[in-house]
Amino acid sequence: MFRLETEVDKDRRLLLGERLHRSNRERSPELRALLATPAEHELPLEVWAMDGRGVLAGGLTGRTWAYWLHVDLLWVDDRHRGSGLGSQLLAEAERVAVTDRACTRSRLETWGFQAPGFYRKRGYEVIGQVDNYPPGVTEFILTKTFG
């Protein structure tokens, strides 16, 4: 018999993640092959754009792991849209991922009303979509191969 609990528990969440990662490594020779390589650990990657007054004009947050860049967030203030700032942020993140972290590919998710066209123009390909996530919106999954 099990007792199911639904409260938020940071310590259990960390323990769960550790156990899942250990289990995955035991079952996957590909994940074991990453051990002791530069790509073994997930590392944050952030690029910030500050305007002349030191105010945040845009930014990109993501992470690298297993020779992949995963872009989590990319935002540009409305006043700077169309200036090329988004392209600069993405290009810098890709440069760091390739040059400093030996990444060979990138992935991200974006909603249909956000920027799938922006990413396609920068070499990303739609590899999947989730309709009605959230209701009435389509989420796109895109990847790019570097080089």
Number of domains comprising the chain: 1
| pTM, full prediction | 0.91
Distance CA 22, CA 116 (A): 35
- What does the pLDDT profile of the chain (147 residues) look like in tens digits? 999 999 999 999 999 999 999 999 999 999 999 988 888 899 999 999 999 999 999 999 999 999 999 999 999 999 999 999 999 999 999 999 999 999 999 999 999 999 999 999 999 999 999 999 999 999 999 999 998
Given its phi and psi angles, is residue 54 left (phi above 0), alpha (psi -120 to 50 degrees) or beta? left
What pLDDT sits at residue 38? 85
Give me the CATH number covering residue 93.
Answer: 3.40.630.30
Distance CA 40, CA 91 (A): 24
- Residue 23 domain-assigned? no
- Residue 48 domain-assigned? yes
What pLDDT sits at residue 36? 86
By residue count, the chain amounts to: 147
Domain that holds residue 45: 39-145
- Residue 27 domain-assigned? no
Q: Would you give the end-to-end CA distance of the chain in angstroms?
A: 54
